[in-house]
Amino acid sequence: MPVRIKICGITRPEDGQAAAQLGADAIGLVFYPKSPRHVSLEQARAIVAALPPLVTVVALFVDPEPDEVHRVLAAVPIDVLQFHGEESPDFCRQFQRPYLKAVRVQPGLDLLQYAIAHAGARGLLTDAFVPGVPGGTGATFDWSLLPADLPLPLILSGGLEPDNITAAIRAVRPAAVDTSSGVEASKGIKDAARMAAFIAGVHHASV
Ligand SMILES: O=C(O)c1ccccc1N[C@@H]1O[C@H](COP(=O)(O)O)[C@@H](O)[C@H]1O
């Protein structure tokens, strides 16, 4: 099965189009107000409208109020929710939409138990733990902390970029990978050449 690719933190229609044309399976829209990649409903609608068909649109939240999620779902055609905070399984399930649960990996965290608790998720997205910042930091984590026998599909993220993506996939064997900072020219602005190199690196991992 090919490793699936998500490019997160898209803020401009042209970046979403470029990601899709280069071969990304999914794009991520950040609805966390404190993120430099935060998008308004208008921006999100314009980005989605410019995508070719059959690209998965993921909406990212960090400990949102339920109303905030409903407001986005009512205004933007979203395929999958991504919860990147401390949301409980009950919280994530209430929207009756497919969702990914993000977890920030650090020594001592029982990832197996975490995945069992979030059995309703479509995948467990593992990110680096950086105190005070919930994600999108560009930091990697120790991939050896990931158990081999997780009961959910693993989406590897955290500091993935063209220079480390092939090694990361060979080390972890994830179902999918997700990147934001590693393919940017500046915060929120994607670099098409870096996206192309990242996607080539994903494909190279299976050679
Ligand atoms: O992108 C953000 O600004 C962001 C803000 C809050 C939570 C998560 C965020 N992004 C996600 O973080 C991971 C890792 O990002 P990076 O590649 O290390 O920059 C990724 O899943 C982004 O979707």
Domains of the chain, first to last: 4-205 (3.20.20.70)
User: Which residues, given as ranges, of the chain have pLDDT below 50?
Assistant: none
Q: Helix or strand or coil: residue 99? A: strand
Instruction: Look at residue 206 in the predicted model and tell me its pLDDT.
Output: 82
Q: Which atom of ligand 1 is nearest to the CA of 161?
A: 17
CA distance 75 to 47: 13
pLDDT at residue 31 in the model: 98
Q: What is the pLDDT of residue 207?
A: 74
Beta-carbon contacts of residue 202 (< 8 Å; ≥ 6 apart): 3, 5, 165, 166, 169, 177
Whether 90 is catalytic is: no
- The catalytically annotated residue of 8, 15, 92, 178 is 8
* CA distances from residue 134 to 63, 73, 126 in whole angstroms, order as listed: 10, 22, 12
- What pLDDT shows up at residue 138? 97
Instruction: Say what the pLDDT of residue 94 is.
Output: 97
Probe ligand 1: pick from 6, 7, 30, 100, max atoms within 8 Å of CB?
30
Pocket of ligand 1 (CB under 6 A): 8-9, 28, 30, 32, 35, 37, 60, 62, 84, 125, 127, 134-138, 157-160, 178-182
| pLDDT at position 136 | 94
Q: Which tens digits make up the pLDDT trace of 24-65?
A: 999 999 999 999 999 999 999 999 999 999 999 999 999 999
71-87 burial code (b ≥16 CB/10 A, e <16): ebeeebebebbbbbbeb
Catalytic residue status for 127: yes
Q: Ligand 1 centroid vs 28 CA: distance in angstroms?
A: 9
Instruction: Out of 25, 63, 79, 127, pick the active-site residue.
Output: 127
Could you tell me if 27 and 20 are in contact, meaning their C-beta atoms sit under 8 angstroms apart?
Answer: yes
Q: What is the pLDDT of residue 172?
A: 97
Query: What is the atom index within ligand 1 of the atom nearest the CA of 159?
Result: 18
Per-residue pLDDT at 168: 98
Cα of 48 from ligand 1 centre, angstroms: 19
- Residue 97 alpha carbon to ligand 1 centre in Å: 21
